[in-house]
Amino acid sequence: MSHNDQGYSIHERVFDRREVTQLLEALNSANLERTKAGARHVLKLPAVRELSNDRRLMMLAGEFVGPAPIPFRATLFDKSANANWLVVWHQDTALPLRARNDKAEWGPWSTKAGVLYAHAPAWALERVVALRVSLDDSTPMNGPLRVLPDTHRGDVFTGDEIANIAASIRPVECVVPAGGVVAMRPLTLHASSKSLDDRRRRVLHIEYASATVIAPGIELA
């Protein structure tokens, strides 16, 4: 981990408008099982799989998890006037796993869209980074991602700890034009407010790990 690592980074113009348009066309034409907030498990789409292995994203992910990052999950978030939600300060602590284990530090367990999930310990989450590809312009008005810098260096926090930290650190709004990318460690405290305008904000959230086998008998799905 670099001493300059604040748990996130913002990169503008990683992809050009033509590339973003092509990706949106592929997503719009795909037979996705959508929720009000977007769609899960979109890494199965050829266009998303190809994007996840793009050298530009691989280089960004490699800065956080090492020289051979492996994409293992992708989620489409779609915030609009019709699907406008608030996300409170939290960490992303659930990981998809191939099988259940009996180690006390893993859990609680759940199943979402047929995939097994467990809340993971901090040492496992430190091996993961999310790259959030903006498919629309992210602005201060349309509910952008907000982060609390340097909050990834601790542990998995309790609700009271999160409240105390959020009251003491100035948040950063991660705004980028379409084609920009925000990299974020899952332990970084983050949130987003409701959108204040009608402009859509779609984000392709791709997660990378340093390896799919996290520990003996524990493998990412």
Residue 81 pLDDT = 64
8-212 has which fold?
Answer: Jelly Rolls (2.60.120)
Stretch 52-79: mean pLDDT: 96
Percent of the chain with pLDDT over 70: 98
Predicted TM-score (pTM) of this structure: 0.94
CA distance 59 to 79: 28
Q: Are 204 and 23 in contact (CB under 8 A)?
A: yes
Stretch 28-52: mean pLDDT: 89
Q: What is the chain's mean pLDDT, rounded? A: 93
Cα-flanking dihedrals φ and ψ of residue 208, to 5°?
-125, 145
User: What are the structural domain ranges in the chain?
Assistant: 8-212
CA distance 203 to 79: 9
Q: Does residue 141 carry a pLDDT above 70? A: yes
Residue 132's CB is within 10 A of a number of other CB atoms, namely 23
Tokens of 74: 């992708």
